[in-house]
Structure 1
């Protein structure tokens, strides 16, 4: 397909694309609803923030860090068999968790939350792998990934807002059931799509791709971890900035929204450009741009300038992640694409978790400016680390 025709409209005109993508998004909306609903429900039922935090950490930890293992099952058995089995287990465990809230036992709630997180169907990585199967060229795949990334960003903004509306007239546990229903319906519709039904089960042992696939995967995973670190740090430092200068709580919300808006704009703009440079060449440049934007955010004297700076931070978030997914797709064998994408996704989430923890430790000991600069420096070092070496550099020349 010519680059001029590789538009977002062309992505949605691919055979079965609209139906499959809509089903995946419906199920993935659960990702934005269930975690907050679990946190609010356990807090209300147990009366303890410590219990709620532990339950939430176990749910989120197993969901994130076991994502590559679940993706491997999709690669091995095919999306229909694997996703339907995981979906059934996930819904059953969420139902048991909701039932357990009536007579809360911290141990039981923790075990159920950990088990539910470990069964969460990886609709995101599976959809991205499917884009790789149904798109005819790399230019269109770039736009598909950009569209997917921006849509996911909006889901994580919309989900908590829906929970906020729901708890206005129903208990928080209702949010768990709503999220479960969305996942159930979305997964069922997704696997019923002809595009998904056409995906065969993988082989028991995945072959290696040319060019050292596992080694090439390290670069997008490292960059994705740096993006997650930047997001986690920025989220907490924005709150620290507004509180330290006496701004209201709504200021932090608007600043976070500006970062999300910047990410959406950056993702759509990046996907719309027909790049001549390969993803591997773009990845360090985008990562470096993110690092410089973080350093600039630390220099902001007020809330308006910080809003501009964090929008610039967000502008590099989605393009960097999208480029990481493109590199992961290139490095993986066809029967290992879901797993490769899941590693990038896991790196973002793991980096965000670490970033929040690090920012929490530093915010009380160093000025916000210094915290932003330190994070930017780490991201810039990551950009240098993920720069591809020219052929022959660092190799011993035979005598």
Structure 2
């Protein structure tokens, strides 16, 4: 399946772009605790980040249905980069600002998973390959939730929790750009 044109690129870009989903909650807890907040406050920020995609992804998905994948991937990546970048610079000392940045970063998560699933039929020759792709995609999702926290902890330990947040923004932008610029993603349009 991965030998078919664009399949590897789309899958790897999607995983990289979604790494922040595993990184940011851990980085938020480390950043908030480093700035003297309680574990409860830090956990609330992480929980807000976990809930926010439930609000943002349906809107970005609807935008993808109307305009294709390019715009929501770029828009989401830009929102995540600005929100996490602001958080990395400003820190979590001012909790209302931190909560706003966290909510925007979560809500801005680009629709990479849904986009990838909609592209399998366009890049693979038959239903058997598509079923294999869904299985592989589901399995590789675990990379996000195993590697992401490990990356956040390593970056926070090596440099700082702010650097872990900045890395979360960077992987979202890099993965989203690599995904959205692939020819199948640029050409994709929702079925009427």
**TM-score, normalised relative to structure 2:** 0.91
Tell me which of 13, 32, 54 is aligned to 1:42.
32
Say whether residues 1:189 and 2:178 are aligned partners.
Answer: yes
- Across the two proteins, how many residue pairs are aligned to each other? 192
Q: Quote how far apart the aligned CAs of 1:160 are.
A: 1.3
1:160 & 1:121 partners in 2: Cα distance? 19
Q: What are the ranges of 5 or more consecutive residues in structure 1 without an aligned counterpart? A: 1-10, 203-333, 336-399
Question: 1:199 maps to what in 2?
Answer: 188
Question: 1:138 maps to what in 2?
Answer: 127
Tell me which of 58, 71, 75 is aligned to 2:61.
71
Say whether residues 1:13 and 2:3 are aligned partners.
Answer: yes
Q: Is the 8 A contact 2:20 2:148 kept in 1?
A: yes
Say whether residues 1:112 and 2:101 are aligned partners.
Answer: yes
Question: 1:271 maps to what in 2?
Answer: none
- Aligned residue runs from structure 1 range 1-399, under 5 A: 11-101=1-91, 104-200=93-189, 202=190, 334=191
Q: Is the 8 A contact 2:87 2:162 kept in 1?
A: no
Cα pair distance change 1:132/1:46, threshold 3 Å: farther
Q: Quote how far apart the aligned CAs of 1:65 are.
A: 4.1
Q: Is the 8 A contact 2:22 2:145 kept in 1?
A: yes
Q: Deviations over 1:232-261 (max 9, x none)?
A: xxxxxxxxxxxxxxxxxxxxxxxxxxxxxx
Q: Quote how far apart the aligned CAs of 1:36 are.
A: 1.1
1:66 & 1:198 partners in 2: Cα distance? 23
Structure 1 stretch displaced more, 188-197 or 41-50: 41-50
Structure 1 stretch displaced more, 138-147 or 152-161: 152-161
Q: Deviations over 1:44-68 (max 9, x none)?
A: 2242223212222222111234322
1:56 & 1:167 partners in 2: Cα distance? 16
Cα pair distance change 1:67/1:82, threshold 3 Å: closer
1:32 & 1:110 partners in 2: Cα distance? 18
Detail structure 1 runs of 4+ shifted over 3 Å in the superposition: none
Cα pair distance change 1:136/1:154, threshold 3 Å: same
Query: Larger Rg: 1 or 2?
Result: 1
Q: What are the ranges of 5 or more consecutive residues in structure 2 without an aligned counterpart? A: none
2:154 & 2:80 partners in 1: Cα distance? 24
What SS does the corresponding residue of 2:110 show, helix, strand or coil?
coil
* Bigger relative CO (Cα 8 Å, ≥ 6 apart): 2
What SS does the corresponding residue of 1:12 show, helix, strand or coil?
coil
**TM-score, normalised relative to structure 1:** 0.46
2:154 & 2:102 partners in 1: Cα distance? 24
1:85 & 1:111 partners in 2: Cα distance? 17
